Chains A and B, each alone.
Chain A
């Protein structure tokens, strides 16, 4: 069975580069300052796994975790 993924943004590391929002808009949201957090509880809907990894590998602050559950 395929593993379920969950994304998480470390708010202490995020500096608002907003790469995750550009690459995986379904998985991330920005606050009024442009800093990112995961959408909802971070669960990655089926089919969006690649976008989750892409967001992680483009975050300059290494602020994104992809957790395999």
Chain B
């Protein structure tokens, strides 16, 4: 399309409270002090950027919005510079509102229960060990690019029944949609089209040769009336599973290892008490939640006493909610054995992440296998840690030295 605007450069932020921008390099690099400043100012702040956008800064305000599907729509779930027409079946159920949300969600839930994930666990352990085999002798590794990335890629490729060798394609599409797409509509459209074509080819193959994977599962699924799903619904859900299943867990594994590289006491505790790893995973999910979602205000209302007007977007920052000291004592610290933890890393309300059980299993296995074989590691002072921008936050370069420091 020729009328699609060019990507825009954003001026640097000088007034966070009235002009916040989650794509600003300062936010990408270290968002935590910014969230503290915003929370101290108001439970809801506003920016004129992104054609108008609110951000709830407290856990309570995030919960209010997540539970209020009457005033806050999920038809747009990424805060971007532009608001093009919404496609029907963009990525159900994450882009669906009631009443169509529930049946679309229920279709996807059974393959992702904790029991279903247990069956995948031995394979994930083998994958982690193969990855470690590939770099352990080098004495150093980029833990984001050589480890964290491939765990969710291989898991979701396996579940969807698509070749793991296409992983660079997947990663590039996700980068185009979740990062570049915030400012560049062309990139987003191109990625969506390429993904749809990719999945269409896989669907075609399965028409003559059905398989035991999620693509066949969705092709054969029926709606409430017993009719097969529209092709746009199948493609939308497949795009969702691929996009949501990779960057997110990659980020969570990376942030967890980043924390452990810098915190020998927590590392030693988890090695001595591996039974604590599931609890530690929850705390790392709280402290370094990767995913920020969005809503669109469709009807004027108030949130925590603050008026919000229709036509604005909402940056629904679960990561900021999880740092609210009113909800979590010592919210700014990683308390590796935190007992009470109602964190919202997987969202709250009806849009709870469909893959949360998969993500938890991947994180636990990734940390367990890593710590068994690499008890000592630290950031490589000669390298640089870089973080992804925007919707999903996690390390994209994570250079480590392996073994005890000399």
Residues of A within 8 A of B (CB): 15-19, 21-22, 30, 32-34, 54, 57-62
Asked if B344 contacts A34 (CB within 8 A), the reply is: no
Asked if A15 contacts B352 (CB within 8 A), the reply is: yes
B339 within 8 A of A: yes
How many interface contacts (CB-CB < 8 Å) are there between A and B?
A: 52
A54-B339, A58-B340 are contacts. A18–B114 as well, Cβ < 8 Å? Answer: yes
Select which of B110, B112, B339, B344 is within 8 A of A57 by beta carbon. Answer: B339
B190 within 8 A of A: no
Asked if B114 contacts A58 (CB within 8 A), the reply is: no
Q: Which of B110, B113, B115 has the most CB of A within 10 A?
A: B113
Give complex CA distance A1, B84 in Å. Answer: 65
Q: What residues on B are CB-neighbors of A17 within 8 Å?
A: 346, 352, 356
Interface hits, B130-182 → A, CB 8 Å:
none
Asked if A33 contacts B106 (CB within 8 A), the reply is: yes
B278 within 8 A of A: yes
Give complex CA distance A60, B113 in Å. Answer: 17
8 A-B pairs, CB-CB below 8 angstroms?
A17-B352, A18-B357, A19-B282, A34-B110, A34-B113, A34-B357, A59-B342, A61-B349
Q: 1/0 per position for B278-291, CB-CB distance to A under 8 A?
A: 10001000000000
B341 within 8 A of A: yes
Give complex CA distance A33, B112 in Å. Answer: 8
Asked if B339 contacts A60 (CB within 8 A), the reply is: no
Q: 1/0 per position for B93-120, CB-CB distance to A under 8 A?
A: 0000000000000100110111100000
Identify 13 new A-B residue pairs, CB closer than 8 A, beyond the known A33-B109, A34-B109.
A15-B350, A15-B352, A16-B352, A30-B113, A33-B106, A33-B110, A34-B113, A34-B357, A54-B339, A54-B340, A57-B339, A57-B340, A60-B346
Asked if B114 contacts A22 (CB within 8 A), the reply is: yes
The 6 closest A-B pairs by CB, nearest first: A33-B109, A15-B352, A57-B340, A34-B113, A60-B342, A32-B110
We find that the number of chain B residues with CB closer than 8 angstroms to chain A is 22
Q: Main SS of chain A's interface residues?
A: loop
Q: What residues on B are CB-neighbors of A34 within 8 Å?
A: 109-110, 112-114, 357
Q: 1/0 per position for B314-351, CB-CB distance to A under 8 A?
A: 00000000000000000000000001111110101110
Select which of B115, B278, B343, B357 is within 8 A of A60 by beta carbon. Answer: B343
Select which of A15, A30, A60 is within 8 A of B114 by beta carbon. Answer: A30
Q: What residues on B are CB-neighbors of A58 within 8 Å?
A: 282, 340-342
Asked if A32 contacts B113 (CB within 8 A), the reply is: yes
Nearest A residue to B346, CB-CB: A17
State how many angstroms separate the Cβ of A21 from the closest Cβ of chain B: 6
Give complex CA distance A4, B352 in Å. Answer: 32
Interface hits, B173-203 → A, CB 8 Å:
none
Q: What residues on B are CB-neighbors of A21 within 8 Å?
A: 114
State how many angstroms separate the Cβ of B122 from the closest Cβ of chain A: 19
Nearest A residue to B279, CB-CB: A23
Give complex CA distance A18, B344 in Å. Answer: 13
Q: What residues on B are CB-neighbors of A32 within 8 Å?
A: 109-110, 113
Give complex CA distance A67, B356 in Å. Answer: 28
State how many angstroms separate the Cβ of A15 from the closest Cβ of chain B: 4
Q: What residues on B are CB-neighbors of A60 within 8 Å?
A: 342-344, 346, 348
Q: What residues on A are CB-neighbors of B341 within 8 Å?
A: 58
State how many angstroms separate the Cβ of B284 from the closest Cβ of chain A: 15
Q: What residues on B are CB-neighbors of A15 within 8 Å?
A: 348-350, 352
Give complex CA distance A34, B358 in Å. Answer: 12
Q: What residues on B are CB-neighbors of A54 within 8 Å?
A: 339-340
Give complex CA distance A47, B42 in Å. Answer: 44
State how many angstroms separate the Cβ of A35 from the closest Cβ of chain B: 8
Give complex CA distance A57, B339 in Å. Answer: 8
Give complex CA distance A19, B338 in Å. Answer: 14
Interface hits, B30-86 → A, CB 8 Å:
none
Give complex CA distance A34, B340 in Å. Answer: 22
